A and B are shown apart, each in its own frame.
Chain A
Amino acid sequence: MKKFVMVMMVLLFIFPAGCKTSIETLNIAVELNDHAASAYIAKEKEDFLKYDIEVGSFEQYDTGMALATALARGDINVGYICVIPAIISYARGVPIKIVSLTHQYGYELVSRKEIASVQELDGKKVACPGAGSSANFVMKLVEEQYGIKFNVLRTKPLVAISALSNGSVDAVFIPEHYASILVSQGFKILLRAQDVFSEMPGSCIVVKTDIIETKPVVVKELIKLNIAETNFINKNQKEAAKILSGYLNTDEIIIENSMKNITYTNGLNVNNIQFVIDKLADWGYIDERFNAEDAIWAGN
């Protein structure tokens, strides 16, 4: 018996990361939109603690690229971020891995009502977030697949809204919930991400590799929490919209409509991630191709 206790103590000493012994503190960052719904819901319901995760800081960034640079600086160790900036960060050498998806789609081309087709926008002024954003990724795919070229005005989503509203541009490539804000103002969705990329991965959770290596159990709990919150969102969309509207300071109805344009799901499809990697390499956004599996933590 004494021997058994001794062995157990030694094992606990050698493999502390493998044992869920205490509450872990994580510094979390999210994008200021409903793509990070599962994080906002978990925060509101104080569910992080139920999964033994203490939130050290919970920061909001207005774009995925801004969040990606925060990850690179090391300010945060968990990010709810769009897949495209996550892949770019990984390709640059930022020590992160994708651990779970939070949604699919959620990026749209919104235009004035008079514009009937995407082709009409050939050569026209279109607002879009900068290279490395998911909206920019969709825009590049549209240009490729439709054989057209936009006159691009590089803006953040909030500026894009006013640019379309005041007639500075003819259309905008924009993520949800900003697209739904524009729809509520009388503009129309001309194209959705799934029209050019049938299973486009939206956002994901990335975790710093030092956390993955030293505290894999915490990361597994984070993934479980994400799945639980995703289920909650899909079953209680009205309640989820109400919670999100508070965090995003946006009308509840707009958020509810926006959430209908997003598929909240957690399954990571390696082929889709590989497609993203290959495209980013083709466009020179990353220096070289790599295997999607390398950027994903499978939980082993």
Chain B
Amino acid sequence: MGRKLNSLLPIALFLLIWELIGRLPAVPTYLFPPFSSVVVKLFTVKGLLLENIFFTLFRVAIGFVIGTASGITLGLLAGINKKVNQFMTPIVSIIYPIPSIGWIPVLMIWFGISNSVPVIAIFICSFFPIFLNTVRGVKDIDQSIIYAAKTMGTPKTCLIRKIILPLALPNIFTGLKLESGMAIRTGVVAEMLAIPSGLGYLLMKGESLIDTQLIFVVLIAMGLISLVTDYTIRKVEVKLLTWKV
């Protein structure tokens, strides 16, 4: 109870300061709305907000799942096979440092304005860190364990499924935790640039209508989504890595 209070107190204080600043006569509401007015706005636009959260999450889910799945698959391959690693590493080293949002203009030219743009941008954002973390995870495995399994005649697919993948999971989860928030941010930026739906669209609508309350509602929603995503991944991590604990 005491611990909960300790973590809630700073949040309450932060919201109070926000409310007080928003109510200062010198601060126009259209520039900095009080927290209470943002809450009122939240109830006014809840239908619209939920609809657009769905669009954003849908795009993020597709891009993130495909990016993660292919990152883990290719990462495992590169971690196990030297030739695949030698082929992939230089390419990934060049592409990985490019910010995923930097791809958006060229994606817009290639695919037009469609769901493909945020989905592919999120894919790029997720794939490379997951790939690199998976390779690192495989390389960090104690080779004596793999050697022992091989000498006991463990088939290759079983070796990957039962030994390599589980032992690489801690590194993979590090990548997942890092990139889940980034995937949401990338999706929102892509929506801000042109897509007529999603949280990014709502942010731009708020900007063009000077509706700062709407902007804050969307920002809070984004923060909560990132928090829930991070929490979910941590929970899954704890469940899958019980052997490590």
| Residues of A in contact with B (beta carbons under 8 Å apart) | 65, 68-69, 72-73, 85, 88-89, 92-94, 125, 130-133, 152-155, 163, 168, 285-286
Contacts and interface: CB of A to CB of B under 8 A. Distances in A.
B210 A68 contact: yes
Contact of B204 (A68, A130, A285): A130
B196 A65 contact: no
Contact of B112 (A85, A94, A168, A285): A168
* A-B complex: 3 closest residue pairs judged by Cβ atoms: A65-B208, A132-B208, A92-B30
B29 interface: yes
Contact of A65 (B112, B201, B207): B207
Contacts, number: 49
A154 B209 contact: no
Contact of A154 (B30, B196, B211): B196
Contacts of B201: 154
Given A92-B210, A131-B205, A153-B196, 8 more contacts: A69-B210, A72-B31, A72-B210, A89-B210, A94-B28, A132-B210, A153-B113, A153-B194
A168 B209 contact: no
Contact of A132 (B30, B194, B209): B209
Given A93-B28, A94-B30, A168-B113, A155 B194 contact: yes
A68 B210 CA distance: 8
Chain B interface main SS type: loop
B38 to A, nearest CB: 14
A285 B209 contact: yes
Contacts of A131: 205, 208-209
19 contacts: A72-B31, A72-B210, A73-B31, A88-B210, A92-B209, A92-B210, A93-B28, A93-B29, A93-B30, A94-B28, A130-B204, A132-B210, A153-B113, A153-B196, A154-B194, A154-B196, A154-B201, A155-B194, A286-B209
B113 A94 contact: no
B36 to A, nearest CB: 15
A131 B196 CA distance: 11
Contacts of A92: 30, 209-211
Contacts of A65: 207-208
B49 to A, nearest CB: 13
A134 to B, nearest CB: 12
B210 A152 contact: no
Given A152-B196, A153-B194, A130 B31 contact: no
Contact of B207 (A69, A73, A93, A153): A69
Nearest to B212: A92
Given A73-B31, A93-B29, A88 B209 contact: yes
Contacts of A68: 210
